Structures are given as structure tokens and as C-alpha cells.
Amino acid sequence: MSETPSLLSLCIDALSQHLLCAEDHVSLLPAVYHLPLHLLLTLITRLPPFALLQFHHHIPFQDQDDETSSVNDSTNKRKRSTDWNLNSAWHKLFNLRWPHHVNQIESDDWQQLYWETHLQDCIDEATEVAIIPSFSGSIGDIHISDSILKYIGFVGHISHSTCEHSKLSYHCQQFGSHASCLRLQNVLCTAETSGLLRECKLQKLVLRCIRSKEQIDGLCKVLAQHCTTLTSLEFVHCTLSTDFINVIFGSLVIESVQKHGIQHLSIIASSFLEPFTDSLPSGLVSFLSSGRSLCSLKLSDNHHGRTFARALFMTLLNLSSGISVLDLSENKIAGWLADFKRRFLSGSHQSFGIGKSLQLLRVLNLRGNNLQKDDAESLRYALARMPNLEELDISDNLIEDEGIRNLIPYFLGASETCPHITCLKLENCDLSCAGVSHLLHVLSTFRGPLKSLSVADNYLGSQVAEALGNFFSTPIEVLDVAGVGLGSSGFQELQNLLKEELKLVKINISKNRGGIETAKFLSKLLSKAPQLIDVNAASNLMPIESLSIICSALKIAKGNVQHLDLTGHIWDYKPDQVSICTEFVHNGLPIFVLPSSSASAVPHDDDP
């Protein structure tokens, strides 16, 4: 039997309903703010989003310290309004509606995030309608479904079941001012949309599947309208011609200053229609040269070939932008620096690169580009132009041992500048034990501050253990040696080599077929690495006895370990084997990530 509602809750519910209505809240609100604090707090927790918006919006005094308002009795009110905890009320409403988002998001302003996300939901729903080929008509008139309207409190309330409130245009107009970050699909890139987004102060815009001239024209209107606030622009799955690129970047220039304010430009998984000649589209060049603000440029997985990459590199050398992140991953740019190397070696490099664009580069991502050993050598000359580079990723390229040898002079500081590399990734580069041992040896004497290294997914075999063991005594903090074929003998050797205290924080030794020796190595490691937080030891053919070895080591070490991945093993647990693990928790979460029990997955009744 349901409980009888109290008079109070009936009143509060009735009041919430009235606050949803435009005429009512104007007359009611002034009095509502004078309610005693405890009633107000109850009311706030019960208001549907749209009513809370009205309540929040019409507060007749400001939360900020404001000389004039503290003169008379509004002081009281000001103090009180900060007690109302409106931000946490918005946070709760957000959690309720988007429970999956919450863990990934931090915000100081949950109201802003609430309405921004709401508007995005409305836009996504309208996109589904507009994308049907037979759709013709106004995008703003597209109806938003009851399931969305219900969330904000609109359904079941007479005055809001009128058409206006269910149209996309209404939501853009009402809530647009809260939206700073939106995603638009091709069909929404129209002149009409720029009208709908009038109220938004767009900072970040993600554009998907833009293909036609019409869509580009619509987009340009939106861009021109928001060029003073936009800082981040991302194109995904778009098809771009040189003309398109020229007009898109043309529309971003802020007329009065002839500059743009974009800090992050990404073009991902898109295709560029014409093959590039020796120079980049003029729009892109002027974009790169007219914004001091640009700090990250990501052109990934766009089938860029070497010609494009070479033109881009030469252009960057010539300019003075402050780019700190350059991502050219997943293209096919082998040979892109050959020309540069030739000129460098012939001494004519003084004649190019008067600019300083690459001076501030901190992160360079060249993953998955078909690069080979010659590219690694050319890269060495190019790196000399990047004195502040901290992170270099050349994983998924067949550079082989010789490629590494070609790069090594860079780490020896043979170039003019002393390298500042803190993070180096060489995963899946077809390296062998000899190449990596040499590299590890060089890196052990490296003058720079290397903190993170990955040589994962190269078949190195157990012999690499010796070089690896010596490398452990450098100040390395993050080490990824997943899938390098250490085997039991490799882990055994490593145990013997662990002598001093290590600085390791994170290690990945997964996929190494180490068997029980993996556990013994871990147990030694735990005693030597007091700062260790994260261990991935998955898929190592460990027998279940490993669990108790690791548990007792963990108990003795009393370290900081927060996460220990042992998945990828087929284990039949006995209850006591699992229970020894459950005592290890960090922030309420279990430290051990265990494989699901094969016994519980397939229940057997016929155990002897």
C-alpha cells in the first residue's frame, strides 16, 4: 500500500507544477524566495528541471559578493542563496537523466552541462528525422519526443503540450545560451541552423559526415557566427575538397583582427578529394599562419600521403605558430621527410624554416604510418627542429632494429639540442632483442628525463630480460612490455636482476606466457617498487596458485597498488582463493581484476 502523502508534499508538488508555467512563475516566484529555508530546500529537490531553471534564473539577488547588495537586507538573501546548493541539485538531475555519463564528467556548473546535454539530445533526435531522404521542411519545426520532454517536466502539464514547446526551435531558443559544445551531423549544417544556434556561445563544435557544398555553406554560416568564441573544431568522417577547405577556414577569420581563435583543430577519418600537389590548400596555410592560438593539430586516419605530410611539415617550418601537439597518425606518409633530410645534409637547410612553429612542439604522434628505417633516420634530423618535444609515438611502423639504430644518435644527444623526451612509444615496430637491448642500454645513460617507455608487441624473447633488468634501475615510471615473449625464463632472470629500489608507478607485463614465474616476479617487484600503482599482468598462463603468492606479497609490501589486472586466465576458484583477494580494496573498489570463474560460468553439479 502506498503511503498517504503529507499536506506538505502535496503543496510542494502543486507549487512545482505551477512553476513550470510561464504566467504562474512570474506571479509566484517573488513570494517563493521568502519561504523558510527548510521548505525551500525541499522544494528545490522536488522541482523538475524546467521549473528549477525558472527558480534559478529569477533569483532576485546575486550570489557574488557585491558591495551594494550587502548594504541592506538582501545580505540575508545572498547568504541564503549560496546555502541552497543549486549546483548540487543540478548535479542530481544530471545523474538521474544521464547515469552513464556521470563518471566521465567533472563540472563546476551542472546547470550549464544539463541544458547543453539536453540540447544535444534534442539536436540528435531532430537529426534522425531530418536525415530521412523524404524530409522536407523546417528543422526548427521538428518535434521533440515526449520521452525527452518528460525529463524536463513538460509532459502532462497542459500549457506545455502546445506545439511550440515541443519544437526544436523552442529548445534552441530557451536553452541555447547554456550550450558551448555541440555535435552537428551533415543534415543539420544548413543556413537555418545558424539561426537556431543564435543564442549559443559555441566554443567547441564537432562536425560529422559533411560532404556537400550545401552543407559546407551552412556550416560556414555557423562558423562565421561563432568565430569569436570558437576554440575547438573537429571534423569526423567528412569528405573535403580543396574548395571546401578554403571556404571553411576562410569563414573562421575574425574580420576585425584577421585572425582566428581556434586552439584545437582535428580532422579525423575523413577523405580529402584531390591529391595534393606540393603545397597545401591556401585556406589551410592561411589558417595555420593566422592564429597564434592554435596549439593542437590532429590530422589522423585521412589517407594523407607523403606529399601532404611533406607540404605540411615544410609549411610548419616556415611559420611561427605555437603548435604543441601534432598528430599525423594512421596515414601513409612514409618518405615524407626524405626531402628534408637531403636538404639538411646538403647544408641548404639554413634556407628554409625561418619560422619557429616546431620549436614549441611537445607531442608528436606518427603511429601507424608505414614508416620504415629510412624514415626513422630522417626523423632524427627533423627532431633537431623540435627542441621541446616530450612525447614521441612511432608505434605500428615497421622501422625494425635498423630504424632504432638510426634514431639512437638523437638520444645520445648528438644533435644540437639536448632531448627532453619523457615518453617514448615503439609498440609493434618489428624490433628484435638486439635492437631493443641496444636502445635500453642507450636510454640507461640518456641524459634526458625519460619517464615512460613502451616496447610492447615486439617479439623480443626471454633474452631481453638482462637489458630490461638493468633498465629497471633508471628513473623510469611507466613501462609497457606487453607481448614481448618474456616467458618463464625471462621472468626468472628479471627476478634475479631486481636489486635496488625502483621508481616504477605503472607496468604492463601482460601476454608474456610467464606462468607461475610471473607471480614470483610480481612478488619481488612489489617489494622493490613502493610507488607502484597499476599492474597489468593479464594473459600470462598463470596457474591459480599465483593468486596466493601475489596476495601475500601485496600484504607484506603495504604499497600503493590500486589496480592489478589478472584477467585472461582460466581459473576454477575455490571459495577461499577468492576470499583472500577481497580484502584488497582501494577507494571502495577491488584492487584485483580477476578473470570470471570458469566454474561459475559453466555450473557443474557433478563435482566429486
Contact between 69 and ligand NAG by CB under 6 A: the answer reads yes
For position 456 contacting ligand NAG by CB under 6 A, the verdict is yes
71 sits near ligand NAG (criterion: CB under 6 A): yes
Q: How far is the C-alpha of 40 from the C-alpha of 34, rounded, in Å?
A: 9
Collect contacts of 590-597 with beta carbons under 8 A, ≥24 apart.
Answer: 591/554, 591/561, 591/562, 591/563, 591/564, 592/564, 592/566, 593/563, 593/564, 593/565, 593/566, 593/567, 594/566, 594/567, 595/566, 595/567, 595/568, 595/569, 595/570, 595/571, 597/571, 597/572, 597/573
Query: Which residues touch 154 (CB under 8 Å, ≥6 apart)?
Result: 20, 50, 160, 161, 165, 166
Q: CA 82, CA 357: separation in Å to the nearest integer?
A: 47
Select the residue interacting with ligand NAG from 2, 64, 68, 350 (CB under 6 A). Answer: 68
d(CA 116, CA 298): 25
- Complex with ligand NAG: residue 172 or 484, whichever CB lies closer: 484
Q: At what angle do helices 86-97 and 37-46 cross, to 10 degrees?
A: 20
Answer yes or no whether residue 74 interacts with ligand NAG by CB under 6 A: yes
Q: How far is the CB of 400 from ligand NAG (least distance, A)?
A: 19
**342-381 binders of ligand NAG (CB under 6 A):** none
Task: Kindly give, in sequence order, each residue whose CB lies less than 8 Å from that of residue 455, ignoring residues fewer than 6 positions away.
Answer: 426, 427, 431, 436, 439, 480, 481, 484
The number of angstroms, rounded, from the C-alpha of 171 to the middle of its chain's C-alpha atoms is 28
Separation of alpha carbons 519 and 542, rounded Å: 7
Annotate each residue in 278-317 with x if it binds ligand NAG (CB under 6 A) or - if it does not, as one string: ------------------------------------xx--
CB of 354 to ligand NAG, least distance (A): 7
CB of 505 to ligand NAG, least distance (A): 11
Size of the site for ligand NAG (CB under 6 A): 18
- Smallest distance from the beta carbon of 73 to ligand NAG, in angstroms? 7
* Residue 427 binds ligand NAG (CB under 6 A): yes
Which of 30/156 has CB closer to ligand NAG? 30
Which of 508, 512, 540, 546 is close enough to bind ligand NAG by CB under 6 A?
508
Q: Which is nearer to ligand NAG, 72 or 350 (CB)?
A: 72
Which residue from 111, 190, 518, 536 is in contact with ligand NAG, where contact means CB under 6 A? 536
Q: Which phi and psi angles does 586 have, rounded to 5°?
A: -135, 125
Residue 396 binding ligand NAG, by CB under 6 A: no
Q: Applying CB under 6 A, which of residues 6, 27, 64, 72 lies at the interface with ligand NAG?
A: 72
Convert residues 312-341 into a mask of x (bound to ligand NAG by CB under 6 A) and - (unbound): --xx--x-----------------------
Q: Which is nearer to ligand NAG, 318 or 359 (CB)?
A: 318
Residues 515-534 that bind ligand NAG (CB under 6 A): 534
Amino acid at 554: L
State which of residues 361, 431, 482, 532 lies at the interface with ligand NAG (CB under 6 A): 482
Q: How far is the CB of 49 from ligand NAG (least distance, A)?
A: 29
Closest contact distance (angstroms) between CB of 276 and ligand NAG is 12
C-alpha cell at 376: 626513422
Q: Which is nearer to ligand NAG, 74 or 492 (CB)?
A: 74
How far apart are alpha carbons 217 and 219 in whole angstroms? 5
Please say whether the beta carbons of 203 and 180 come within 8 A.
yes
We find the least distance from the C-beta atom of residue 534 to ligand NAG, in angstroms, to be: 6
Is 247 strand, coil or helix? helix
Among positions 138-197, residues that touch ligand NAG (CB under 6 A) are none
The rounded distance, in Å, linking the Cα atoms of 104 and 81 is 29
- Long-range CB contact pairs, 588-594, < 8 A, 24+: 591/554, 591/561, 591/562, 591/563, 591/564, 592/564, 592/566, 593/563, 593/564, 593/565, 593/566, 593/567, 594/566, 594/567
The least CB distance from residue 457 to ligand NAG, in Å, is 5
Smaller CB distance to ligand NAG: residue 78 or 165?
Answer: 78
Say how far residue 429 (Cα) sits from the centre of its chain. Answer: 25
| CB contact at 8 A, 509 and 480 | no
CB of 602 to ligand NAG, least distance (A): 28
- The nearest distance, CB 608 to ligand NAG, in angstroms, is 38
Q: How far is the CB of 453 from ligand NAG (least distance, A)?
A: 12
Residues forming the site for ligand NAG (CB under 6 A): 68-69, 71-72, 74, 314-315, 318, 427, 456-457, 480, 482, 508, 510, 534, 536, 565
